Chains A and B, each alone.
Chain A
Amino acid sequence: MSLDTFRQETREWLAQNCPPGMRKPSRGEPDICWGGRNWKFESEDQKIWLERMAARGWTVPMWPKEYGGGGLSREEEKILREEMRAIGARSPLESFGIWMLGPALLQFGNEAQKKEHLPKIARGEIRWCQGYSEPGAGSDLASLQTKAEDKGDYFLVNGQKIWTSYADKADWIFCLVRTDPAAPKHSGISFVLFDMTTPGVSTKPILLISGKSPFCETFFDDVKVPKENLVGNLNEGWTIAKYLLTHERASIGAGGSLAGLRSLPAAAIKAVGRDQNGRLADAFIRNDVIRAEIDGYALLATVERYKAEAKAGQGVGSKSAILKYAGTELNKRRYETFMTIAGSDGLEWESERSEDGTLAREWLRTKANSIEGGTSEVMLGIVAKQILKLPGA
């Protein structure tokens, strides 16, 4: 099928199938469909939208069809995104399964694991969380201590994770565990999957400065994990972890360039208006908005360029650290500007006017962007060492 035909058909299908409620601007977090066993759809439209998109494999457009994906090429996927944006269609499903575990399983999982887990991710039936950080292993992730002992037909897992996003709402976890305590720290780690309802798993939400609790402490107390839930080879989990971190960094970074959620120029125009020449009436704010917009534009162009280069076989490698660093720092700057634009209105925390301080809470949330998934300093260190090859980095 030619790309033009594909675009035409996609446009028609979306026009007929995207429910009106799913074409309203997303308010961000409260409007995201995460899926999972216990998911409560915010509306009938949200449910229908997920079902229709999942039936076409378009919740994960580029995954192979046999695993619940859409089997689209990169060009087709881009068209799908463009057509969705054109009618303001929301994403039907977001999840750590889509962003992270799926790509890892496609790369490192065995056939049985792919068949078992990927279609459920694509249909939004199982919600995953990620068990990486520990109280003593933050930036120095490879020093993690949660141990998994080989007990014959299962691993016995004991330890604690922290900053586990939505662990209290997740159905399954993909988790880094230490399987060889004697080996050098990067060489004794394995990557395992298990059900969060397994006896011995417990979670405790952490209250953040935003007043919300998207993260948990997660405890493992004699948790039995079947051997077949080991992904890749024993003690080679760090390879998968690194692969996933690269993915995570790219997606956290890209968040800074997403035009989707809030538009700075629109917020600024609404708040301060334009002068007779069409310029934003507040020169100081205008300056900040321009810088943020151009950097957002640059980031998007860089994401696209890296994709094109990767496709052309020109390695991108550690350069994704740049996207994570630049994208998160940009997002923090953008939200500082949103808050400046909003003035005292933006400080309201509990009013209906402010939808319970949505903006302020988002602003606070962005402060984690440059910490999670590898701090800005870790990213700069990666560039210094792996790209610039500076001594002792």
Chain B
Amino acid sequence: MTPARSESATRFARRLSLSRGFSSWAVYVGKAIGWGTVLWMIGWVVVAIIAGAEVLPKFKHPISIHWLPIIFSSLAGLWLLFSASRSSTPPINLNGRDVYRLALTAEDAREVLDWPLWFARVFRFAVAFILGAVWTVIASYWFDIFTPFAAITLGCIAALTVDLEWLAYSARGTENTAARAWLNTLVLVVVASSVAGGVLGFGLASGFWNLNPLGLLPVGLLVLGVIGSRASLTAGYPPRFAAQSQILSTLRSMMLMSLVARSRPDPDQHRRLRDQLLGRVSSIRPTRSLPLPALDSSVLLAVAWRSALTMYRRPVFDQIGLVLQLAFVVFSSISTVSGVGGFLLRALALGFLLPRLVGPAMPIMSTPIRSSERSLGRTLPGLAIIGLVGVIALFVSSLLNYPLEPALLGITRTMLGLLLLEKVATWAGFASTGVEASTSASTLALVPAALLETFGVGSYTLTAQVVVMMILLLPTD
């Protein structure tokens, strides 16, 4: 096949995929949400933005703008330099078909990678353009300056990050001298224009504070970035790109699916894929392990061990974050916020915490594990952690001469929420990281307290929570 025919075939296949993808997406949105509803929502967003702009407080005297060049030049420069130092992962990923075209066919890498690079640039440009437009509105109200180029400036800076990231990625550990040269050149220009913007008032981000067409310098930088990226591809693509692209595709699919399913992606699976992406040893073998359970252990203990093992292997920062979050939830019971506000605050805090305390799901359905063993096994380590943090909370409360009941209420409520989350997720078939499951569980966990307080018998809340917990712990099979 000649290159020309190959390119036209590729374009044809891409158009076909995109049109099919777009039409199924349009049908899905039409059925799931309704296009009328979407238009209605967009209309209200526009109204909200206009109304928001109108209620912006106006000052008698505009705020001084003398510090804007330094702030914006520094921020823009640091952002671009940070992008230029991101060399471990690519800013783009390919679909399966394009990975094979890149790796297994004679096609020029530029032909394959041009589309995803442009797609990434346009996406980042569009998001940043909107933010820049918002700045234009704010600047005219607060600083009394007209900045029509802010949107284009910010859009181009955002799009340029794609090229800087790609060049940094291509230059790392390879003989790609073109990528190295273009990266160095762009970094020099970015630093110089950033300093010039801060000192002279004309430079990288001057579109944020003045009307001078020199503010459009980022457009030129973006053009240089695009030329640089294309030049770097003359030497081919980085060898690790194909494998990393496939992992990135899986990661992004996970994020997209979780968005559609209104849940958070499974954090453990996400971490494993990130480890694979970055080639960490922990993607091949664990860096931490718990002792294996004894061979005469019960099934319940085996499931609980697996749950504890998963939690134990999470990064230390995650574990510290979990304990702090748990402490906050327990101590939020002591806070004086009451009424609907207090109810919502506690439900929210609990909803964010609970999914982190449940063990991994059991995808292999033919294994002879009873639902009660699975249910309790998945929650047992979480219950133990709550108990441990609870004991510390009680100890601290007694040291500070606080009454113990609020802390006890918080502990039992969190335990109840955890049991409810596992049940709700299992019964309804939701992922335990899903918004539906965690919101339902956290709200239900607060129901005993809300009901009893409404009827003036709030002193029975602790007992009621313990009783409901006991009921949930009863085996159902």
Do the two chains belong together in a single complex?
no
